Amino acid sequence: MATPLVMPGSRSAGSVRLADADDPFNLNYAPSIGMFPEHAGRDPVDQIKFCHDMGFRAVFDNGLMGRPVADQERIVAELRRLGMELGPFVLYADFANTSFVLRNDDVLEMLTARMEEGVEFAKRTGAKWALVVPGRYDERLHRDYQTANVVDNLRYCCDILEPAGLVMVLEPLNTLRNHPGLFLTGIPQAYQICRSVDRPVCKIVNDMYHQQITEGNILPNIDAAWSEIASFHIGDHPGRHEPTTGEMNYRNIFKHIHSKRYEGVLCMEHGRSLPGKEGEARVIAAYREVDDFV
């Protein structure tokens, strides 16, 4: 049975009817495990069940590698039982240090250990996508040399990941608000790097919140980089909350992505514009609103 949730004071005042497990969304939106604690509690399995009941067919957990193995196994078992997808997990995201932009023994040793750890994790959990942020740029080295080093290091990582079928997704992040000093910032830059690496396990995760800040031009960049995009992250701007809270027309964006027959995961990597149960209900209602494009 569908679950009515009352959201007093919200922009959708009154009772908002949220679809049940038999009415999935048109796209594979993925809440983070833990997004709905007021409705589902804090146990990750209960969170997954609630997401499925609300019509979601995927979840993601950036910190999944850091959870106890027993929790990882419970999460994966429940996702398999419900036929749900698992979005990209974070394999490497060091915002403080230069790494991929350098080519030396220390960097290669670190990358070897990290990629091998990711492969073992994927074997245990069945995870398909590993998120990678290539770290900071080096002010003492010309950017073209840094780009060449990043390409070489990514090819090296692909040699480890490809036999296991684990796809590395590179995430460009904005430097204007959240992550100053990083090397990878834009979709055109990420596209150029993926084409240069030229390996099927090196792709892009397009975080549309970050790219709205960095460069805008969301739909044309999706089209131009389409062959290299394996996943999406969602968040409105300003505020980094659910769709309908900022300047981005997510209904049209999702309609465009759907028209391209995209069947992958779109991770809901954002906060809630309202607190408590009301805020959680508003998130689900917002996705029902912007998903109404067919």
pLDDT at 56: 98
Other C-beta atoms closer than 10 Å to the C-beta of 109 total 10
Instruction: Give, for 183, the enclosing helix (H) or strand (E).
Output: none
For the chain, what percent of residues have pLDDT higher than 70? 93
- For residue 130, the enclosing domain spans 3-290
Report DSSP letters for 116-159, one per residue: HHHHHHHHHH---EEEEE--B--TTS-HHHHHHHHHHHHHHHHH
Each residue's pLDDT tens digit, 84-132: 999 999 999 999 999 999 999 999 999 999 999 999 999 999 999 999 9
The CA angle 15-249-19, to the nearest 5 degrees, is: 30
Inter-axis angle of helices 143-161 and 187-197, nearest 10: 60
Domain harbouring 215, CATH code: 3.20.20.150
Contact 266, 243 (CB under 8 A): no
| Number of domains, the chain | 1
Return the closest-CA partner of residue 17 out of 51, 54, 59, 50: 54
Band of residue 10 on the pLDDT scale cut at 50, 70, 90: very low
Each residue's pLDDT tens digit, 157-213: 999 999 999 999 999 999 999 999 999 999 999 999 999 999 999 999 999 999 999
Is the pLDDT at 5 greater than 70? The verdict is no
Band of residue 9 on the pLDDT scale cut at 50, 70, 90: very low
pLDDT at 22: 80
Report the chain's C-alpha Rg in angstroms.
Answer: 19
How much is the mean pLDDT over the chain? 94
Is the pLDDT at 149 greater than 90? The verdict is yes
CA gap 44, 34 in Å, rounded: 7
Band of residue 18 on the pLDDT scale cut at 50, 70, 90: low
Each residue's pLDDT tens digit, 201-225: 999 999 999 999 999 999 999 999 9
